[in-house]
Chain A
Amino acid sequence: MIAIVDYGAGNLNSVKKAFDYLGAEVVVTDQPENVATADKIVFPGVGHFSSLQALSRTGLREALLQAAGGGKPVLGICLGMQWLFEGSEECAEVAGAGIFPGRCRQFPSSVKSPHVGWNSLTVQKGSRLLRGVAQDSFVYYTHSFHAPVVAGMTAASEYGLQFAGAVERGNIFGVQFHPEKSGEVGLSILKNFCEV
């Protein structure tokens, strides 16, 4: 069973629908105990970094950290991937999980923000999540803040600068783009997650 974490921000339908389409057993939940008993966890995110404050209030932060620390596969999507870092310029008061080093930052003023649309991926070798994803594949992004280039980066995209499109360390995975909205490429990534 895959738990899709609902912390009260945005619309999780598309993520659930994509897993349904792949035949995976998923449940959308806001209960920490469901996170604790799930085999895998998907943490989608949308909106402002400050909305992540709700995680601490509800006990979901602790449940997510325990699952991640206990070796369960965890996939952070968009804001969910940013949460895997130490924090974000968008809201300094809210701490991320600190699984990857560094903070998320705004795009340089040389480009329009937000970054919306299909951008290409420079894929690193050896990623389990991106297995079979061709070099320069296109994925759909929509975000105003980006995660830094770090050691665990498995794919990069360019928009005014190079930023982390995907990260991976052991059982922890993150994608800044929306695999559930990225056509066949995105579905293949979600399928890989189901199979890790």
Chain B
Amino acid sequence: MLTKRIIACLDMDGGRVVKGVRFKNLRDAGDPAECATAHARNGADEIVLLDITATSGNRRTLLEAVRSTARSLFVPFTVGGGIRQLEDAAAVFDAGADKIAINSAAVRDPALIGKIAGRFGSQAVVVAIDARKVDGGFEVFVAGGRLPTGRDAIQWAREAAACGAGEILLTSMDRDGTQSGFDCQLVREVAEAVSIPVIASGGAGSACDFIEVFREGRADAALAASIFHFGIEDIAQLKHELHGAGVAVRWPC
């Protein structure tokens, strides 16, 4: 039986894993390679590494972090942040990523999705969408959540899928880092609009939140960062609880 995936996300700034609340107030949470292998050992089905500052000066730091993280990681590994063109993606794959996540660059140039998918396969292209509730709908924000685009998140997810995206990583900016639960309405609307897998992100705080986003939100996977880094919710314990609640998860791993 296909299981629901639990994905651990590492937000990276200058080679270190950090975590903030609503994209702000960053705290240090460790070395990326060490965090990744610890999460994988603990039952994470997948690791996402996001370079949240992603300036051009940071490229080398990112590639080094990808290389050292990939070396001993044998679960799917996604890398995002600052990927603006095919060459950036190629460098990240070359350093050992299995998938890349693109956000702002895809909004600016949707054809980039198809370009990367054409060379590395759709399974390797994750389109990340940061969305916030605005006037009853959900609006797409870019540049780390700083710039509103005026675009509807559900429409954009549909377009990204049509362009060749393999998965959608959907973050609710309203819930990010708050541990107040996923935005199940947002997740469900996107999950019903596309046939590719949807990874829910933003707001994970308890096992109940995961159960809700898998059942009510129809998410294929759920991603969390802060609750795993600081040991609030242990992934092994989380999976044990999900398994007990009848959610199909890779457990025991």
Contact = CB atoms under 8 A, between A and B. Distances in A.
B93 A11 contact: yes
Nearest to A46: B121
A120 B5 CA distance: 13
Nearest to A142: B123
Interface residues of B, number: 32
Contact of A115 (B2, B45, B71, B74): B2
Contacts of A143: 123
Contacts of B94: 13
Nearest to A159: B2
Contact of A119 (B3, B71, B72, B76): B3
A174 B166 CA distance: 24
A119 B249 CA distance: 9
Interface string B1-21: 111110000000000000000
Contact of B76 (A9, A10, A18, A140): A140
Main secondary structure of the interface of A (DSSP, over half): mixed
A119 B1 contact: yes
B102 to A, nearest CB: 16
Interface residues of A, number: 32
Interface in A83-121: 112-120
B253 A138 contact: yes
Contacts of B119: 10
Nearest to B117: A47
Contacts, number: 91
Nearest to B5: A117
Interface string B170-202: 000000000000000000000000011100000
Contacts of A187: 74
Tell which of A21, A119, A140 has the most Cβ of chain B within 10 Å. Answer: A140
A117 B45 contact: yes
Interface in A126-163: 138, 140, 142-143, 158-159
A142 B98 CA distance: 11
B50 to A, nearest CB: 19
A47 B121 contact: yes
Contacts of A182: 74-75
A114 B196 contact: yes
Interface in B1-51: 1-5, 40, 45
B124 A112 contact: no
Please list the 9 inter-chain residue pairs (A to B) with the smallest Cβ-Cβ separation, ordered nearest first. A47-B121, A142-B123, A138-B250, A118-B250, A46-B121, A11-B93, A119-B2, A116-B197, A118-B3
Given A117-B45, A117-B197, 12 more contacts: A9-B121, A11-B93, A112-B197, A116-B123, A118-B250, A119-B3, A142-B166, A143-B123, A159-B2, A180-B74, A183-B40, A187-B74
14 contacts: A10-B119, A13-B96, A17-B70, A114-B123, A114-B196, A116-B220, A117-B4, A120-B1, A142-B123, A158-B1, A182-B75, A183-B40, A183-B253, A184-B253
